[in-house]
Structure 1
Amino acid sequence: MPTVMKISPQGQIRIPKKVMNDLKIIPGDYVEVDVESGHVVLRPRKLIDPSQGWYWTEDWQKNETEAEREIEAGRCSPEFQTAEEGVKWLDE
């Protein structure tokens, strides 16, 4: 069912929560605005390459933070010249 919205004096509209949920957008996200056949069309847009989205997930960022702490604390492996050296180190 369509929703009627009033345009503010600054030319702004408020996107209803249901529409935001349907589009899976949150405050601060970007939308592309276009006019097609006399209709306004909004499309959600992310400013990162979709193929790189995994990097910005909450879980991945949590693990990145943990890894940085481990590196700063010196809790990491030495450098290896070959994969075999690395495997040997892991076996020990």
Structure 2
Amino acid sequence: MANAAWKEVSNVQKFVRLRKKAQLTIPTEIVEQLHLNEGDNLNIQVEDGRIILIPTVTIAKDQAWFWTESWQQGERQAERDAEKGRLTDISDEKELDAFFDTLDK
């Protein structure tokens, strides 16, 4: 999942020095462009001899269901329905029961 703000980032090339304990400092310009903060998680990958750092967000296990493809499809469908005005106002339990009754038919 890409963060929309990351798409606006310009290409930057900086050189850093690997220090003791394999530590390096990400240049401030890059940290600011990617809106990174101390404690953020980065996924590190090696591809074709290159080190790639990808900012990641950790999702709590009890929230992981929301990010499944099937749930996200439903979210996208709900968004389309809302944009097209396909909504039903329900103000109380009685109206909700009546609405569910129409779905059963």
TM-score normalised by the chain length of structure 2: 0.45
Runs of at least 5 residues in structure 1 that lack an aligned partner in the other structure: 53-81, 85-92
The aligned counterpart of 1:13 is 24
Instruction: Give the Cα separation in 2 of the matches to 1:23 and 1:36.
Output: 21
User: What secondary structure does 2:20 align onto?
Assistant: coil
Instruction: Give the Cα separation in 2 of the matches to 1:32 and 1:8.
Output: 20
Instruction: Give the Cα separation in 2 of the matches to 1:22 and 1:36.
Output: 23
User: What secondary structure does 1:34 align onto?
Assistant: strand
The aligned counterpart of 1:40 is 51
- What is the aligned-residue RMSD (CA, Å)? 2.3
Structure 1 runs (4+) greater than 4 angstroms displaced? none
Instruction: Give the Cα separation in 1 of the matches to 2:14 and 2:47.
Output: 19
Residue 23 of structure 1: CA displacement?
A: 2.0
TM-score normalised by the chain length of structure 1: 0.50
Instruction: Give the Cα separation in 1 of the matches to 2:36 and 2:57.
Output: 10
- Computing the radius of gyration over CA atoms, which structure comes out larger, 1 or 2? 1
The aligned counterpart of 2:97 is none
The aligned counterpart of 2:37 is 26
Runs of at least 5 residues in structure 2 that lack an aligned partner in the other structure: 1-11, 68-91, 95-105
The aligned counterpart of 2:72 is none
Mapping for residues 35-74 of structure 1, pairs under 5 Å = 35-48=46-59
Residue 21 of structure 1: CA displacement?
A: 1.8
The aligned counterpart of 1:71 is none
Identity, in percent, stands at 22
